[in-house]
């Protein structure tokens, strides 16, 4: 079964002002294919790493969405916005006296409280569904939305720079954040402002890492989509960054694609496999991704997500 349409993964540097869906639309036009999806939304004001799957690469997106991420951000203390970021205008402002009392040590203490496992209430203007409808859609319809707190992990939260603006009446804090999937950096900005009693929101956000996909490998979307499209990361190469790898022969690959359970064989001995204890593995045959499979307790492999490939 031959398929000449684009198959693989693309790491894109999303430009500011364009939605993640807008990036998908441009990638569809650039590569001439309809089957494109992304792993993990970036808000329009944000820039940076957006991982996209094309063709059968869309099947890998579910494994990419849940990985950890790194962000560089600027938190503005002294005001807040309805969206907790610069996509809306400030609507609440701190008392100048309260803002004047905020010093470096107070900011450092507020940041320290948000390191590690925390229960975070996501921003109301978010893509989280409430009774089947996006939270942001309910807010824009005039509803009061209160989302439940969710446990997330902020493994690193470092202050890079603090700028006290005497004229504009605000404080800008540049930070770097390593966090689990599902963490809202703008909610961190909101909560720091609340803790300090001066309000807070994001004015800049750049994602520099999604799992093992980094900004230095990201493609910049050209203004002219008539230029040649870049080479995609192959399905096998992308899967290797996400899961331990099992290499199988043609017979076992064919059996897996037929829904059969096969012997896992030497999957623990693959020198390139990162055995994290996961029971899900990427199954490769002749450098082609056969499936994402589950390793059963009896040592057998059972395909969870199959990738149709040509076998000799």
Long-range Cβ pairs for the range 107-110 (8 Å, 24+): 107/77, 107/159, 107/162, 107/171, 107/173, 107/192, 107/196, 108/159, 110/192, 110/195, 110/196
pLDDT tier, 270 (very low <50, low <70, confident <90, very high otherwise): very low
- In whole angstroms, what is the distance from residue 107 CA to residue 160 CA? 12
pTM (predicted TM-score): 0.88
* pLDDT score recorded for residue 87: 87
Q: Which CATH architecture has domain 243-306?
A: Roll (2.30)
Q: Provide mean pLDDT across the span 263-288.
A: 68
pLDDT for residue 66 is more than 70: yes
Residue 110 DSSP label: H
Task: Indicate the DSSP class of residue 144.
Answer: -
Residue 145 above 70 pLDDT?
A: no
Give kind and range of the element (H or E) at residue 61: helix 61-65
Check if the beta carbon of residue 258 is closer than 8 Å to that of residue 30.
no
Strands 8-14 and 300-306 turn out to be unpaired
State yes or no: is 144 an active-site residue: no
Catalytic residue among 43, 84, 85, 191: 43
Residue 244 burial by Cβ neighbours in a 10 Å radius (0-12, 13-18, 19+): buried
How is the chain split into domains, by residue range? Answer: 8-67+212-235, 69-210, 243-306
| Distance between CA atoms of residues 240 and 243, nearest Å | 6
pLDDT in tens, 146-158: 778 899 999 999 9
Q: Which CATH architecture has domain 69-210?
A: 2-Layer Sandwich (3.30)
Indicate the class that CATH gives domain 8-67+212-235: alpha beta
Cα dihedral 261, 262, 263, 269 in deg (nearest 10) = -110
Q: Which residues contact 8 (CB under 8 A, 6 or more apart)?
A: 53, 54, 55, 57, 232, 233, 234, 235, 238
Domains 8-67+212-235 and 69-210 share a fold: yes
- Asked whether residue 3 carries a pLDDT value surpassing 50, the answer given is yes
Q: With contact defined as beta carbons under 8 Å apart, do 312 and 250 qualify? A: yes
């Amino acid at each position: 079964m031959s398929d000449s349409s684009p198959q693989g993964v693309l790491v894109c540097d999303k430009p500011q002002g364009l939605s993640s869906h807008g990036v998908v639309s441009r990638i569809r036009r650039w590569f001439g294919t309809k089957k494109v999806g992304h792993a993990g939304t970036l808000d329009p004001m944000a820039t940076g790493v957006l991982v996209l799957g094309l063709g059968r690469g869309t099947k890998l997106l579910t494994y990419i969405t849940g990985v950890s991420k790194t962000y560089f951000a600027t938190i503005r203390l002294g005001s807040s916005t309805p969206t907790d970021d610069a996509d809306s205008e400030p609507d609440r402002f701190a008392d100048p006296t309260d803002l004047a009392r905020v010093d470096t040590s107070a900011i450092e203490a507020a940041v320290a409280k948000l390191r590690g496992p925390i229960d975070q209430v996501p921003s109301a203007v978010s893509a989280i569904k409430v009774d089947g409808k996006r939270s942001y859609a309910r807010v824009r319809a005039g509803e009061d939305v209160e989302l439940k707190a969710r446990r997330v992990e902020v493994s690193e939260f470092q202050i890079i720079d603090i700028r006290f603006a005497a004229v504009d009446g605000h404080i800008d804090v540049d930070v770097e954040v390593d966090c689990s999937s599902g963490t809202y950096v703008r909610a961190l900005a909101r909560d720091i402002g609340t803790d300090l009693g001066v309000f807070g929101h994001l004015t800049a956000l750049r994602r520099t890492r999604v799992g093992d996909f980094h900004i230095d490998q990201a493609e910049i979307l050209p203004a002219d989509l008539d230029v040649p499209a870049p080479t995609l990361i192959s399905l096998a190469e992308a899967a290797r960054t996400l899961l331990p790898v099992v290499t199988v022969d043609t017979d076992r690959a064919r059996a897996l694609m037929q829904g059969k359970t096969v012997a896992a064989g030497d999957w623990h001995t693959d020198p390139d496999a990162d055995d994290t204890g996961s029971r899900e593995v990427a199954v490769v045959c002749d450098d082609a991704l056969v499936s994402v499979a589950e390793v059963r307790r009896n040592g057998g492999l059972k395909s969870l997500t199959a990738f149709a490939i040509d076998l000799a």
